[in-house]
């Protein structure tokens, strides 16, 4: 135990090695609150630098080595530059490596640039190119941040007043994205708690319910205090999720987490585990612990029982992580950005909500002992749960199949398995099928009859899916419609594919597809070039093969005619899969500035882009850009409101046509 605690402490100390992402933020203001044509005014650029970091200034030899801060302005007839950038009271230092003097800022920094107003309204834009370095181990990160007149509070609403001869600056603004922690600590904790409850509805968690039932049934037979074990079970889940979730995100980064969630090996392994458990529940064999281990457990029953409870909690956390990761992605990505307390509280709140129902359910097997044991009802429960394990375990095989384009479990094959499995379940409940260890059944009880009716109703619901019915209630659990070979719905008028938004054949179109007959790209550069050519905003869909919420958004929101019409006519579309395993040509490999790793696949390239540029790694994530790659509107995530999504698209289109951006 001491070694474990020491290891965790060392990992905690190592947090500083993986938290660096954006240690500097800018605010902008005008030195003069009023101005007119002919006036010279100062643009003030103020930097807030995290403790332990320094920002290189602009007034030392640029050939020395470190990157000097510079302002790059886009020429415009409404202004003229007067002189160059001025650093306000920087500190001086000597770099032994580069053997020269340099200037820098710590905690606070300020630069100024004088411009002359030539015409009104005043319009300007540009970028700040700079470098920040940590004082602890010398790591440095270069940045390029954009600005324009709106960054300084000069809005379109004040143009009339400007033309009259005087302009007053609006409030000072900060050029940063809105982050969850900006909304307040308790709001963020509440959000994390709600996501924990939502995570219980994911397909990775459902298969763990029968395992939990079976485990605590056996634990209840051993005696002892079931409440104590249930509480320890819940506490273990909280600790495991909080420690592993936070430390893994901080140490390895969000890209590695997404890689594990969709890699073929863990998904195939989990599928095999569920398959073996299903066969055991169906009566093919009995899973038992080695006799030597059982004897030791008997000698130290209390200690052994607690170890078993902890192992069960660890299994639950491990298996469900591939589905819960997209939900807690926004929490985990904060861990990689130097925010330490916030992600811990977020993961703690998330895991508490996630563990609470399981803790209560862990007590339930003890209540089962009070039910009649005659009639083999307990074996019937195991068979039903085994069939459910068999059906739900296919989700993991499907994730690997989609990510690697194996084509062995397309949508119609997946549905065929489910139809057969649930049909067998219905016949079993009616007593038409008997398995080993089942007792003879002379008559069907009312409860079993009701369950069979529900099961067969579900089977009838599934059958139209073989011919392309969307099955919206199951959209997050089934392979995407693009993997369906015979889709009647795509032949309807509202779903006919067009090439209006395609400038050239898309890369990777032989492996990747849009839903509902939409046409678009799967490579950002290719899509951006087409958006510029057609003078349309670019709609980016950060998605994934293993993303449950992405499929649900496509089935429930994108399928609406109002949404489809707008996506098809008003935007150039690009779907950036963050978990696709297709390897890029070696000439396109690159080393990421974010984590220093070489990106060799489509998925890793797209995931790196999402994290670096938008400080986000959760999917779905929808971004709309103008032709200069500026954000037109605040990005949008998972939200099943059709009207909200329509408003999102309409507002983005209107802002693009007016030339506005964030």
Give the Cβ contact number of residue 292 at 10 Å: 8
pLDDT tens digits, one per residue of 487-532:
555 544 344 444 456 888 998 888 888 888 888 999 999 999 999 9
Strand partners, 132: 55, 141
Give the residue-averaged pLDDT of 351-363.
73
Say yes or no to pLDDT of 110 above 70.
yes
Chain center to CA of 519: 24
As a whole number of angstroms, the distance between CA 412 and CA 487 comes to 10
Position with higher pLDDT, 428 vs 301? 428
The pLDDT assigned to 371 comes to 46
Give the residue-averaged pLDDT of 429-434.
87
Which tokens sit at 254?
């969000």
Closest C-alpha among 483, 596, 616, 612 to residue 542: 616
φ, ψ of residue 127 to 5 degrees: the values are: -145, 155
Give the residue-averaged pLDDT of 444-451.
88
Closest C-alpha among 524, 539, 526, 535 to residue 572: 539
Say yes or no to pLDDT of 287 above 90.
no
pLDDT class of 318 with cuts at 50, 70, 90: low
**Pair type for strands 538-543 and 572-577:** parallel
pLDDT tens digits, one per residue of 371-382:
444 445 667 777
Least confident among 107-121, 202-216, 572-586: 202-216
Mean pLDDT of the chain: 74
The pLDDT assigned to 159 comes to 36
Give the residue-averaged pLDDT of 599-604.
89
**Tokens 């008028």, located at residue:** 493
Delimiting residues of CATH 2.60.40.1250 domain(s) in the chain: 16-173
**Helix axes 394-404 and 254-262, enclosed angle (nearest 10):** 110
As a whole number of angstroms, the distance between CA 662 and CA 647 comes to 17
Cis, bond preceding 471 (omega within 30 deg of 0): no
The pLDDT assigned to 160 comes to 36
As a whole number of angstroms, the distance between CA 601 and CA 103 comes to 40
Percent of the chain whose pLDDT exceeds 90: 21
Q: Which DSSP category does 583 fall into?
A: B
Q: Which of 55-64, 76-85, 138-147, 204-213 has the highest mean pLDDT?
A: 76-85
The pLDDT assigned to 423 comes to 94
The pLDDT assigned to 175 comes to 41
Query: Which pTM does this prediction carry?
Result: 0.46
Say yes or no to pLDDT of 150 above 80.
yes
pLDDT class of 541 with cuts at 50, 70, 90: very high
**DSSP percent split of the chain into helix, strand, coil, nearest 5:** 50, 15, 35
As a whole number of angstroms, the distance between CA 426 and CA 388 comes to 12
CATH architecture assigned to 498-657: 3-Layer(aba) Sandwich (3.40)
DSSP-derived 3-state class of residue 66: coil
Which tokens sit at 608?
């790196």
pLDDT class of 458 with cuts at 50, 70, 90: very high
Say yes or no to pLDDT of 582 above 80.
yes
The pLDDT assigned to 157 comes to 34
The pLDDT assigned to 440 comes to 75
As a whole number of angstroms, the distance between CA 615 and CA 611 comes to 5
Say if CB 422 and CB 459 are below 8 A apart: yes
Domain 16-173 -> CATH class: mainly beta
Say yes or no to pLDDT of 324 above 80.
no
Delimiting residues of CATH 3.40.30.10 domain(s) in the chain: 498-657
φ, ψ of residue 24 to 5 degrees: the values are: -140, 140
């Amino acid at each position: 135990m001491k070694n474990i605690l020491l290891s965790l402490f060392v990992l905690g100390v190592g947090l500083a090695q993986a938290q660096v992402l954006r240690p500097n933020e800018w605010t902008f203001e005008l030195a003069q609150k009023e101005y007119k044509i002919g006036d010279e005014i100062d643009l003030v650029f103020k930097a807030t630098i995290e403790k332990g970091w320094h920002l290189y200034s602009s007034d030392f030899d640029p050939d020395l080595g470190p990157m000097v801060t510079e302002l790059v302005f886009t020429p415009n007839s409404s202004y003229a530059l007067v002189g160059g950038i001025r650093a306000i009271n920087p500190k001086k230092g000597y770099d032994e490596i580069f053997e020269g003097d340099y200037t820098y800022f710590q905690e606070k920094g300020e630069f100024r640039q004088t411009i002359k107003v030539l015409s009104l309204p005043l319009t300007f834009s540009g970028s700040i190119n700079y470098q920040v370095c940590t004082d602890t181990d010398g790591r440095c990160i270069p940045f390029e941040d954009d600005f324009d007149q709106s960054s300084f509070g000069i809005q379109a609403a004040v143009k009339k007043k400007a033309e009259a001869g005087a302009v007053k600056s609006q409030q000072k603004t900060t050029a940063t994205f809105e982050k969850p922690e900006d909304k307040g600590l308790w709001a963020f904790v509440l959000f994390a708690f709600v996501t924990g409850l939502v995570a219980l509805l994911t397909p990775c968690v459902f298969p763990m319910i029968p395992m939990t039932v079976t485990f605590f049934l056996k634990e209840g037979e051993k005696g002892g205090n079931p409440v104590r074990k249930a509480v320890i079970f819940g506490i273990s889940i909280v600790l495991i999720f909080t420690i592993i979730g936070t430390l893994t995100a901080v140490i390895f980064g969000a890209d590695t987490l997404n890689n594990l969630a969709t890699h073929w090996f863990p998904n195939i392994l989990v599928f095999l585990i569920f398959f073996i458990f299903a066969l055991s529940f169906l009566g093919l064999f009995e899973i038992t612990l080695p006799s030597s281990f059982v004897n030791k457990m008997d000698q130290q029953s209390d200690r052994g029982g607690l170890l078993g409870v902890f192992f069960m909690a660890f299994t639950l956390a491990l298996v469900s992580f591939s589905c819960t990761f997209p939900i807690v992605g926004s929490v985990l990505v904060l861990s990689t950005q130097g925010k330490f307390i916030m992600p811990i509280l977020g993961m703690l709140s998330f895991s508490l909500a996630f563990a609470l129902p399981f803790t209560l359910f862990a007590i339930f097997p003890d209540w089962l002992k009070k039910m009649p044991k005659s009639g083999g009802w307990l074996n019937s429960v195991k068979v039903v749960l085994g069939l459910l394990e068999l059906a739900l375990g296919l989700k993991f095989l499907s994730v690997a199949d989609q990510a690697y384009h194996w084509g062995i479990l397309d949508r119609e094959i997946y549905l065929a398995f489910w139809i057969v499995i649930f049909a067998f379940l219905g016949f079993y409940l009616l007593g038409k099928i008997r398995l080993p260890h089942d007792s003879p059944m002379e008559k069907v009880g009312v409860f079993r009859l009701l369950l069979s009716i529900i099961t067969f109703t579900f089977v009838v619901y599934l059958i139209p899916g073989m011919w392309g019915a969307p099955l919206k209630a199951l959209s997050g659990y089934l392979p995407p419609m693009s993997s369906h070979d015979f889709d009647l719905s795509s032949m309807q008028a509202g779903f006919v594919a067009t090439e209006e938004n395609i400038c050239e054949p898309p890369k990777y179109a032989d492996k990747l597809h849009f839903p509902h007959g939409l046409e678009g790209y799967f490579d950002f550069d290719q899509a951006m070039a087409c958006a510029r050519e057609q003078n349309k905003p670019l709609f980016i869909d950060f998605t994934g093969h293993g993303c449950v919420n992405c499929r649900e958004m496509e089935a429930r929101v994108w399928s609406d005619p109002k949404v489809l019409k707008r996506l098809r006519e008003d935007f150039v579309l690009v779907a950036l899969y963050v978990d696709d395993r297709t390897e890029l040509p070696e000439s396109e490999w690159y080393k990421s500035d974010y984590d220093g790793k070489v990106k060799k696949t489509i998925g890793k390239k797209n995931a790196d882009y999402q994290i670096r540029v938008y400080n986000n790694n959760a999917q779905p994530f929808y971004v709309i850009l103008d032709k200069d790659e500026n954000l037109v509107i605040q990005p949008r995530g998972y939200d099943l409101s059709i009207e909200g999504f329509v408003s999102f698209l309409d507002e983005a289109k209107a802002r693009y046509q007016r030339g506005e951006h964030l």
